[in-house]
Amino acid sequence: MSTQGADVSPSGTGAGRYAPSPSGDLHLGNLRTALLAWLLARSTGRNFLIRIEDLDRARDAGTADRQLDDLASLGIDWDGEPVLQTSRGAEHDAAIERLARAGLVFECYCSRKDILAAPSAPHAPPGAYPGTCRDLTEEERGAARERIAPRSPALRLRVPDGTVPPVFDDLVLGAVHGDIDDLVLRRGDGTVAYNLAVVVDDAAQGIDQVVRGDDLAPSTPRQILLQGLLGLPRPEYAHVPLVLGPQGKRLAKRDGAVTLADLRERGTGAQDVLGILAESLGLARPGERITTRGLLDRFDPRALPKHPWVYRGLPGAE
């Protein structure tokens, strides 16, 4: 995997990060979020780290390298070596074991279909875990294991009784409320769940600033709960608006030329793309050529965008 060293020397402590999944090339929405994460970290004197979240997505051996190359071509640099999330299995297992010793883990034998079909508690959000396996007897657990064999049970967090869903203050969204339930810690196939992994990894890497798409804001209260139970620090959060396609849906390959490779084939280079992204953030004039270093001089965290950017095609993308 290629790496890109940083020639910025942050004077403060802590770090921001960008953590793509190697399930496909980065599109304009991903790149815009990465640029915002870089600007927020660098403008506040933090290091900027890259973590490849490769736990359970469909992976192509070359995707992560292409993602890193795309970031570098825009002028986004980072400190140290990118970290593969799959290399941190021992730390994930240790966190689950710590919760288990505190009596906060139980086996769950439910399929997704079972959960969706089960009666939900009043006011529970759709798909919330209804507690089916939370208090089974040993005899009932044995019967459930036989029923799902050879599939293994998932491991879920036993949320302590009386827990109040945490509210957090987001740099973009303001006060955010969310729901919590007995979330999955490890799936039946052995894969560690995102909420557990991201909490453990951010703390281990000293990340105290998380910038990501606002579609992930609803999962943040669960992560804050885990941080408290594991005695880990809470980073500051900035959930930024997504990029939408012309139909108002989340940007995807169906919207045409949306990756750097696509745009390059149509005559739009990386620096042109950087200028368009900067324009969408109110940091550059139409057609202006700018560098990431130049954007730092203009960037004001208080002016982070609060509305989605609708992609309607770029020069060379027709």
73 is in an annotated binding site: no
Ranges of H-type helices in the chain: 28-43, 63-73, 89-101, 112-117, 138-148, 194-204, 220-230, 260-265, 270-280, 292-298
Q: Which residue's entry shows tokens 């689950």?
A: 96
Q: Rounded to whole angstroms, what are the CA distances from 247 to 27, 156, 258, 260?
A: 17, 38, 15, 21
312 is in an annotated binding site: no
109 is in an annotated binding site: no
108 is in an annotated binding site: yes
317 is in an annotated binding site: no
318 is in an annotated binding site: no
CB 17 within 8 A of CB 79: no
One-letter amino acid of 288: E
20 is in an annotated binding site: yes
18 is in an annotated binding site: yes
Rounded distance, CA 35 to CA 39, Å?
Answer: 6
Euclidean distance between the first and final Cα of the chain, in Å?
33
10 is in an annotated binding site: no
Tokens at 289, concatenated: 């050529």
Q: Rounded to whole angstroms, what are the CA distances from 117 to 11, 157, 164, 182?
A: 53, 21, 26, 17
129 is in an annotated binding site: yes
Rounded distance, CA 210 to CA 202, Å?
Answer: 9
212 is in an annotated binding site: yes
One-letter amino acid of 277: L
Binding-site residues, in ranges, read 17-21, 53, 108, 110, 129, 133, 194, 212, 253
Binding-site residues for Zn(2+), in ranges, read 108, 110, 129, 133
Binding-site residues for ATP, in ranges, read 253
Binding-site residues for L-glutamate, in ranges, read 17-21, 53, 194, 212
